[in-house]
Amino acid sequence: MTDNVQSIDRSYGLGSLAERNKVLRNTYWLLALSLVPTVLGAWLGVATGITRSLGGGMGLIVFLGGAFGFMYAIEKTKNSAAGVPVLLGFTFFMGLMLSRMIAMVLGFKNGPDLIMTAFGGTAGVFFVMASLSSVIKRDLSGMGKWLFVGAIALMIGGIINVFVGSSAGMMAISVLAIGIFSAYMLYDLKQIVDGGETNYISATLALYLDIINVFQSLLALLGIFGGERD
């Protein structure tokens, strides 16, 4: 009887581990795929300039309305065949919204180098957090509420700074965003590794938001400190 129970426990553990690995693998594939619409959206935005006029309050309304609308739709469709296309539509939208900052950075003589540096830095952060998530045994679920409070405070600060237009405020927000969303990256990866997140579309959305926030914050800092005028 004891042997049978132990056999069942081992089978359940192996099945659970296989399921977590499957979610992690699918998340990584979808995350990589999601970068394609992001690049296309950013390229279209830069090439056409359609987001150039979206500054101040209007840009904020379009961004928040579009982002929260897409995230609501992703949540509603994450268990259906429509989930992946909706997520990719969201990443295209985010690329469009990011194109305004990218166009500004490309205005610098070393603009392409700054973008590649920001991309490389973001990839480095992701690699470190992915590595940590696989070796840390401690349960990090308690981090979630504190990170959420930090993200909300960051969003409020960012909204205020849209109207204030302070460079010092932008620098402070960018530095805090890199710290908070790097930690969020570790938290979200650990949720998948520990089996706390079992839907790969939700997992991809969480990691994508972490990555895009770290990238644009790095890009903002590099533009402020390293941008070279002609």
From residue 112, how far is each of 37, 78, 117, 125 by CA, in Å? 19, 35, 9, 20
What are 165's two structure tokens?
């237009």
More confident residue, 6 or 216: 216
Q: pLDDT value at position 76?
A: 93
For residue range 42-57, list pLDDT tens digits in order: 999 999 888 877 766 7
Q: pLDDT value at position 85?
A: 95
More confident residue, 230 or 117: 117
CB 98 within 8 A of CB 41: yes
pTM: 0.88
From residue 135, how far is each of 51, 85, 181, 189 by CA, in Å? 42, 33, 20, 12
Structurally, the chain folds into a number of domains equal to: 1
For residue range 187-220, list pLDDT tens digits in order: 999 999 888 888 999 999 999 999 999 999 999 9
The residue range of the domain holding 146 is: 2-226
What are 46's two structure tokens?
């830069």
